[in-house]
């Protein structure tokens, strides 16, 4: 196990609602990245947090936002949910080292109806 | 053109076979390269990093050709437990961030 935890494991929401997903990083890892994985696709980078600041963002609209806390845990917030937001949301933690190896949590499966 | 391209498969091979996966990436500024393994409805798990000199971990061998922007993974003596999706992953630093870009994955099914 990587030591990265995510909650909840599954979630069902309706269109237009808002959702918050949570992630606790591996001990000592100060960088957290969020990814969205649609069925049959590879994970897509949403954004990364380092020392409580957004440190890079993928091609996702502003209704996807996040936070990182002093203990390096993180939240992903999605407003105005759309059907296409249904996916597996993965959190990965890492150290800002040259190797950039990232370790993933088990994910939160979000279904938007 | 996709940033990371892989053959989606599936590759169906008998136990004991050798199987090779290939991957190409489009951005020559990419700095780090990985293979991840993902089981059905689970999270991706780091299988191995890939270096220009090539690296081996037991039955798994990874190669990187920066000139051709090509990455490969060779699995020897396939086991049933190797059945999974193999994701080719490239790190493209953007400022101080490390953005992993994933291919769509190649599905491997090892059979008796």
Query: Are B87 and A42 a contacting pair at CB < 8 A?
Result: yes
Query: Are A40 and B104 a contacting pair at CB < 8 A?
Result: yes
Q: Is A42 in the B-facing interface, judged by CB distances under 8 Å? A: yes
**A32-46: pLDDT as tens digits:** 999 999 998 999 999
First to last CA, chain B: 37
pLDDT grade for A97, boundaries at 50, 70 and 90: low
User: For residue A35, what are the contacts with CB-CB under 8 A and spacing of at least 6?
Assistant: A43, A44, A45, A46, A89, A90, A91, A92, A104, B100, B102
Give dist(CA B112, CA B106) in Å, integer. 20
**B8-45: pLDDT as tens digits:** 889 999 999 999 999 999 998 888 899 999 999 899 99
Number of H helices, E strands in chain B: 0, 11
pLDDT grade for B53, boundaries at 50, 70 and 90: confident
Lowest mean pLDDT among A95-99, B17-21, B81-85: A95-99
* Radius of gyration, CA atoms only, chain A: 13
Average the pLDDT over B70-82 and give the result. Answer: 97
Q: Put the strands of the sheet holding A74-78 in their side by side order.
A: A5-7, A19-24, A74-78, A64-68
Q: Token digits for A26? A: 């591996």
């Amino acid at each position: 196990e990587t030591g990265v935890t995510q909650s909840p494991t599954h979630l069902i929401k309706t269109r237009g609602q808002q959702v918050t997903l949570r992630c606790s990083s591996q001990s000592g890892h100060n960088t957290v990245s969020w990814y969205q994985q649609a069925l049959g696709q590879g994970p897509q980078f949403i954004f990364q947090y380092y020392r409580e600041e957004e440190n890079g963002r993928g091609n996702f609209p502003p209704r996807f936002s996040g936070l990182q806390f002093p203990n390096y845990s993180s939240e992903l917030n999605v407003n105005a949910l759309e059907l296409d937001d249904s996916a597996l949301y993965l959190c990965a933690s890492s150290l800002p080292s040259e190797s950039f190896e990232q370790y993933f949590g088990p994910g939160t499966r979000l279904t938007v109806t | 053109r996709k940033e990371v391209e892989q053959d989606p498969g599936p590759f169906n091979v008998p136990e004991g076979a050798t199987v090779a996966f290939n991957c190409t990436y489009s951005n020559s500024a990419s700095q780090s390269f990985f293979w991840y393994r993902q089981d059905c409805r689970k999270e991706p798990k780091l299988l191995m990093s890939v270096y220009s000199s090539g690296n081996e971990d037991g039955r798994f061998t990874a190669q990187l050709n920066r000139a051709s922007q090509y990455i490969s993974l060779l699995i020897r003596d396939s086991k049933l437990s190797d059945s999974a999706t193999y994701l080719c992953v490239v790190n493209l630093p953007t400022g101080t961030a490390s953005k992993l870009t994933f291919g769509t994955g190649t599905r491997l099914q090892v059979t008796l």
